[in-house]
């Protein structure tokens, strides 16, 4: 069987692939609906197969017996194991942890944040108008979600720059199963250690003075008589901090870039601000920050005549499925008013992104505020520079504008 080229299908790899992964992903989808990747897992590339893997077959984030799979034995501290994060749990353990945290991310609770998020967005734009220059990644995309998750967790905003660096490096723990550990963990372990040290002190301080923030709620969290243990609390804090803004930076930056690369669609959005919700969904479909998500089979499953046994890792190539012509009309066209099949930008099934409502709100307000208040936007350079994240997160996206 033909193997794929070498770049990581999560988002990093050679620069040409990260800049524009879609020629390769489109070729794979049309010619290899099921393939064995050089990184180890099998992969499915078509919309229907991704839907089946994420929603229908018995699969999870661990092996069938509950053994950790994605991050094996990389604890940064005896009191901290990344595998205890809810995203990397299955079954009852996943349901329990998610239930204790989910109430802070319901549509109703997220909507209550709208005025605060809008103030953050307006503050970002006020600053760039004053200085007459704008780097979308640095001045807007990184500031909005990182500020909001710090506000939610009760983390001092002064510490935000440190978190953005630590979490970018910590994401590489997710690649340790498929990359040399001395490469992935050389980035991830020091960052995890710093995050653990920071939250150990913050949790101790917050226990003495509980507030109305998410960290305080996690400390006092109780559902049917259940509470988070100290170790579980620490892991959820670190995990929520990273998951709460890292990929949203990519969503906002890549979304603005696509609007600037498609000026007719940008003009549609400027003329009709009510399109911002569908525009954000199209950004997630057309150019998402995460190109694939992994599942481990808990039952034998057949895809395209190939039987895959229990505990086989299978990668759902979201970036390929999101442009499948079997699911979308004219999928290579960027259309801010598109309707139709839902995209896979937030995954699917039991592990559908807990923060999807929050990410949507942040992206809608950040992009909507930018195009409303900053006229005549143009890319300074179509080529991106990338952050140290495992995912497709731009480090810089400078643009020109005329007021």
Structural domains in the chain, sorted by start: 15-376 (1.10.630.10)
Q: Could you give the CA distance from residue 202 to residue 341 in angstroms, rounded to a whole number?
A: 43
Note the pLDDT of residue 68: 86
DSSP string, 279-341: HHHHHHHHS-S--EEEEEESS-EEETTEEE-TT-EEEEEHHHHTT-TTTSSSTTS--TT--SS
Query: Tens digit of pLDDT for each residue in 159-170?
Result: 888 877 887 777
271, 291 Cβ separation under 8 angstroms: no
Query: Tens digit of pLDDT for each residue in 66-125?
Result: 998 876 555 545 567 788 889 889 999 999 989 888 888 889 999 999 999 999 999 999
Degrees, nearest 5: CA angle 329-31-21: 70
Q: Could you give the CA distance from residue 147 to residue 160 in angstroms, rounded to a whole number?
A: 7
Note the pLDDT of residue 10: 47
346, 358 Cβ separation under 8 angstroms: no
Note the pLDDT of residue 164: 76
Q: What is the largest CA-CA distance in the chain?
A: 61
Query: Tens digit of pLDDT for each residue in 23-49?
Result: 999 999 999 999 998 878 999 999 999
Instruction: Tell me the CA distances in angstroms from 321 to 152, 195, 348, one per residue in order.
Output: 33, 34, 13
Q: Could you give the CA distance from residue 11 to residue 21 in angstroms, rounded to a whole number?
A: 8
**Per the structure block, which two tokens stand in for 193?**
């250690």
Q: Could you give the CA distance from residue 47 to residue 198 in angstroms, rounded to a whole number?
A: 41
Please report which helix (H) or strand (E) contains residue 59, including its range.
Answer: strand 59-60
Phi, psi for residue 253 in degrees, rounded to 5: -65, -50
Which pTM was predicted?
Answer: 0.90
Note the pLDDT of residue 177: 56
DSSP letter at 84?
G
Cβ-defined contacts of 42-45 (< 8 Å, 24+)? 42/303, 42/306, 42/308, 42/312, 42/313, 42/314, 42/315, 43/4, 43/9, 43/292, 43/314, 43/315, 43/316, 43/317, 44/303, 44/314, 44/315, 44/316, 44/317, 44/321, 45/317, 45/320, 45/321
CA dihedral 293, 294, 297, 302 (to 10 degrees): 60
Residues of the chain with pLDDT under 50: 1-12, 76
Chain centroid, CA 220 distance in Å = 27
Please report which helix (H) or strand (E) contains residue 43, including its range.
Answer: strand 42-44
DSSP letter at 50?
H
DSSP string, 215-259: HHHHHS--BTTB---HHHHHHHHHHHHHHTTHHHHHHHHHHHHHH
């Amino acid at each position: 069987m033909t193997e794929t080229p070498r770049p990581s299908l999560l988002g990093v790899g050679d620069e040409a692939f990260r800049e524009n992964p879609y020629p390769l992903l489109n070729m794979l989808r049309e010619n290899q609906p099921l393939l064995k990747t050089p990184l180890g897992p099998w992969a499915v590339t078509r919309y229907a197969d991704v839907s089946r893997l994420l929603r229908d077959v018995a699969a999870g984030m661990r092996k069938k017996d509950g053994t950790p799979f994605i991050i094996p034995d990389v604890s940064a501290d005896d009191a901290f194991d990344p595998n205890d994060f809810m995203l990397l749990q299955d079954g009852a353990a996943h349901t329990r942890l998610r239930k204790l945290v989910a109430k802070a991310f319901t549509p109703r609770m997220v909507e209550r944040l709208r005025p605060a998020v809008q103030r953050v967005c307006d503050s970002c734009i006020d600053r760039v108008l004053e200085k007459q220059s704008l780097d979308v990644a640095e001045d807007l995309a990184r500031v909005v979600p990182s500020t909001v998750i710090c506000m939610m967790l009760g983390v001092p905003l002064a510490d935000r720059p440190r978190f953005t660096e630590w979490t970018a490096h910590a994401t590489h723990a997710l690649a340790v199963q498929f990359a040399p550990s001395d490469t992935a963990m050389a980035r991830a372990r020091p960052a995890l250690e710093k995050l653990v040290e920071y939250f150990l002190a913050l949790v101790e301080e917050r226990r003495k003075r509980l507030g109305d923030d998410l960290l305080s709620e996690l400390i006092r969290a109780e559902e049917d008589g259940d509470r988070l243990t100290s170790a579980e609390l620490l892991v959820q804090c670190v995990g929520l901090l990273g998951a709460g803004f890292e990929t949203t930076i990519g969503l906002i930056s890549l979304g603005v870039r696509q609007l600037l690369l498609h000026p007719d669609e940008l003009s549609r959005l400027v003329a009709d601000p009510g399109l911002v919700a569908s525009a954000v969904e199209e950004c997630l479909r057309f150019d998402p920050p995460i190109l694939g998500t992994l599942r481990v089979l808990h039952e034998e499953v057949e895809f395209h005549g190939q039987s895959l046994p229990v505990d086989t890792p299978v990668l759902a190539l979201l970036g390929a499925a999101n442009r499948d012509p079997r699911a979308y009309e004219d999928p290579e066209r960027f259309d801010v008013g598109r309707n139709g099949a839902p995209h896979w930008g937030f995954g699917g099934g039991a592990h559908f992104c807990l923060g999807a409502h929050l990410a949507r709100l942040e992206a809608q307000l950040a992009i909507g505020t930018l195009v409303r208040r900053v006229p005549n936007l143009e890319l300074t350079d179509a080529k991106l520079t990338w952050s140290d994240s495992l995912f497709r997160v731009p480090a810089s996206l400078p643009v020109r504008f005329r007021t």
